[in-house]
Amino acid sequence: MSGIKAVFIADTGVKGPSRTEDFYAAFLSRVRERNLQDSVQLVRTEFSGIYDKGIFLRIWPGGVMYRDVPESRIDEIIERTIISGEVIEELRYTEKPKSLRVVLRNCGKIDPECIEEYIAAGGYGALNRILKDMSPEEVIEELKVSGLRGRGGGGFPTWMKWNFTRQAQGKEKFIICNADEGDPGAYMDRSILEGDPHSVIEGMITGGYASGAQNGYLYIRAEYPIAIERVRKAINQAYEYGLLGDDILGSGFSFHLGIRLGAGAFVCGEETALTASIEGKRGTPRPRPPYPSLRGLWDEPTIINNVETLANIPPIMERGGKWFSEIGTEKSAGTKVFALTGKVRRSGLIEVPMGTTLREIVYEIGGGLETGMELKAVQTGGPSGGVIPADHLDTPVDYEHLQDLGSIMGSGGMIVMDSSDCMIDVARFYLRFCVDESCGKCPPCRIGGYQLLMILNHIAKGSGTPEHIEKINEISNIMAKASLCGLGQTAPNPVFSTLKYFTEEYLEHINDKKCRSGKCSGLLSYRIDPDKCTRCSICFKKCPVNAVKGSREEGFTISSDECIKCGECFRVCRFDAVKVR
């Protein structure tokens, strides 16, 4: 079996039919001519992860990659590369991938339920060295050099949190991992906990050592059963190996870790609500300061870090803060994991250095839009974030740039939208989420959110007035300034940012009673074009509420009073005779 060679063939074009088959056939006939078919395997690849580079080849052994390969060069490739092992420089593809896996370094590579695999991949090595050779101050200093900032959305420097807690006085101290990920469309933290739980645990032990905390909790939402199961197993294994418990690795440092389950309230991702929830109280926020790093869980100094932040700690400690600070941009070091979803061709979890542009993410990693329609906007930051319109696609993604555009990094949801997405509908969706999830403790959020949603409902229904725009700005400002916690302060963001970039769309809804994306059903009316209608009667039969009137002899019309705007007639018509306005 040894000694085989393989050629992986992929068409990296995104338009038109795949050219892989033709190329494959040509290549195969050349291979057969030379009677090499038993030792050289040709493999057609479904997907290469690369776009717009023509026919793409990867040749094994060696792994050399060629791009834009014409059929005329097949003979040369067989002779020079496959047989003689030479590299043809002018065909070679050398571009570095846009992604860089720091946090996800082990995800999909190691068995998350097996501590030995994590150790074999270098895990707990950094912790071992820290406990032996480094003082807590040195750990914090290393973290300061790295420039790591909180990945949960706020972007607060992690070393400062750790340092505040270290310097704070308390009977005991705690470190909490915030795994209450609740943004619609985001699942970065879940994947990290499911794919590499030990890296988070190692990060927490390191944080405990640096800050003096001897107890830690992972606050995970109960909707993540697989993550919980894997973390539980990982904690047990770490205890078995003496990496948790008393006198870890003979260093004299003790650290204990437990899991607390969240019932899935979005507000419990807010740190003061989170600590209240762990204490067994109702999960509602309280005013800050005092910040949890001084008075957190049971009024003791508490570090609260996001899952991704903690998963960054082991590589930083292993390779040094300087290494980390060189990735990304000056103010936003390192990488960020995003859940790329929506109308993008290749949805999934990606990790890129900070400062990568949205265009690179959507087109070079995500492969562009699956619908073939034009990109309209990218939503980042979930219900606390905003939309970034197509003409800002070249913005580098980091904390500052996104904030300047009226959005936020957030925890890392990234939803790609095309022209079939209505911005009022999008704003309404996120706002409804925040209204549902508002804990109700402070009036600006509880009342303001509801009022704002009512206004959006009016606009979507066609009963909006120009004064509503003014009201939106007024209420949004009050919510942003007067709400108790981040949920209320940022809830108007999706409305704010859509209004800022898509004012026209709002005005169209209000003045012309028109929704250009055809999403706001209240503004639609369906009509049958008698010139195109062939009287096939399919819409008549399919209409669920019998709103299509008439007969095959007389022709059909739609009764707008009875129509529920479900769009069924539009979908089933094969003659383009049903018109939407």
Partner 1 sequence: MKKPDFEKIKERQEKLSSGWVRVGMSTCGIAAGADRIYGFLGEHLKKNRLDINLRKCGCLGACYAEPLVEVEVEGMPRVLYGNVNEEMALRIIKEHIIGGRILDSGVYHLRTSEPLK
Site residues, partner 1 (CB under 8 A)? 1-4, 6, 8, 10, 41-50, 58, 60-61, 65, 96-102, 104-114, 116-117, 119-120, 124-125, 128, 187, 190-191, 194-196, 224, 226-227, 240-243, 247, 249-250, 315, 346-351, 365
CB nearer partner 1, residue 78 or residue 103 = 103
Task: In angstroms, give the least distance from the CB of 576 to partner 1.
Answer: 31
Distance CA 456, CA 506 (A): 10
- The strand ranges marked E within 242-398 are 256-262, 302-306, 335-342, 348-353, 375-380, 386-389
CB nearer partner 1, residue 112 or residue 355 = 112
CB 150 within 8 A of CB 279: no
Task: In angstroms, give the least distance from the CB of 228 to partner 1.
Answer: 11
CB nearer partner 1, residue 322 or residue 581 = 322
E strand or H helix at 194: helix 188-195
Task: In angstroms, give the least distance from the CB of 259 to partner 1.
Answer: 17
CB nearer partner 1, residue 226 or residue 454 = 226
User: Could you give the angle at the alpha carbon of 530 between the alpha carbons of 524 and 534, nearest 5°?
Assistant: 110
CB nearer partner 1, residue 300 or residue 308 = 308
Task: In angstroms, give the least distance from the CB of 398 to partner 1.
Answer: 20
Query: Which residue is listed with tokens 């991938």?
Result: 97
Task: In angstroms, give the least distance from the CB of 112 to partner 1.
Answer: 5
Distance CA 88, CA 82 (A): 11
CB 519 within 8 A of CB 421: yes
User: Could you give the angle at the alpha carbon of 391 between the alpha carbons of 385 and 392, nearest 5°?
Assistant: 45
CB nearer partner 1, residue 108 or residue 530 = 108
Query: What are the structure tokens assigned to 237, written together?
Result: 């294994």
Task: Characterize 105-125 residue by residue with b for buried, 16 or more Cβ atoms within 10 angstroms of its Cβ, and e for exposed.
Answer: bbbeebebeebebbbebebbe
Burial of 423 (0-12, 13-18, 19+ CB in 10 A): buried
Q: In angstroms, how far is CA 256 from the centroid of its own chain?
A: 31
User: Beta strand pairing status for 386-389 and 413-418?
Assistant: unpaired
Query: What are the structure tokens assigned to 46, written together?
Result: 């479904």
Task: In angstroms, give the least distance from the CB of 200 to partner 1.
Answer: 12
Task: In angstroms, give the least distance from the CB of 413 to partner 1.
Answer: 14
Task: In angstroms, give the least distance from the CB of 81 to partner 1.
Answer: 15
Under DSSP, is residue 436 helix (H, G, I), strand (E, B) or coil?
helix
- The strand ranges marked E within 131-288 are 174-179, 215-221, 256-262
CB 333 within 8 A of CB 399: no
Query: What are the structure tokens assigned to 411, written together?
Result: 């925890």
- Residue 61: asked if its preceding bond is cis (omega within 30°), the reply is yes
User: Beta strand pairing status for 413-418 and 548-551?
Assistant: unpaired
CB nearer partner 1, residue 119 or residue 482 = 119
Task: In angstroms, give the least distance from the CB of 54 to partner 1.
Answer: 15
CB 363 within 8 A of CB 211: no
Distance CA 339, CA 398 (A): 15
Three-class DSSP labels, 451-516: HHHHHHHHHHHCCCCHHHHHHHHHHHHHHHHHCCCHHHHHCCHHHHHHHHHCHHHHHHHHHHCCCC
CB nearer partner 1, residue 50 or residue 524 = 50
Task: In angstroms, give the least distance from the CB of 15 to partner 1.
Answer: 19
Task: In angstroms, give the least distance from the CB of 197 to partner 1.
Answer: 9
Query: Which residue is listed with tokens 């690179």?
Result: 360
CB nearer partner 1, residue 116 or residue 330 = 116
Task: In angstroms, give the least distance from the CB of 238 to partner 1.
Answer: 10
Q: Which of 40, 44, 22 is nearest to 31 (CA)?
A: 40
412 Ramachandran zone, left/alpha/beta (phi>0; psi -120 to 50): left
CB nearer partner 1, residue 150 or residue 315 = 315
CB nearer partner 1, residue 109 or residue 322 = 109
Task: In angstroms, give the least distance from the CB of 79 to partner 1.
Answer: 21
CB nearer partner 1, residue 347 or residue 493 = 347
Task: In angstroms, give the least distance from the CB of 540 to partner 1.
Answer: 39
CB 484 within 8 A of CB 442: yes
Q: Which of 524, 522, 528, 529 is nearest to 581 (CA)?
A: 524
CB nearer partner 1, residue 49 or residue 522 = 49
CB nearer partner 1, residue 3 or residue 544 = 3
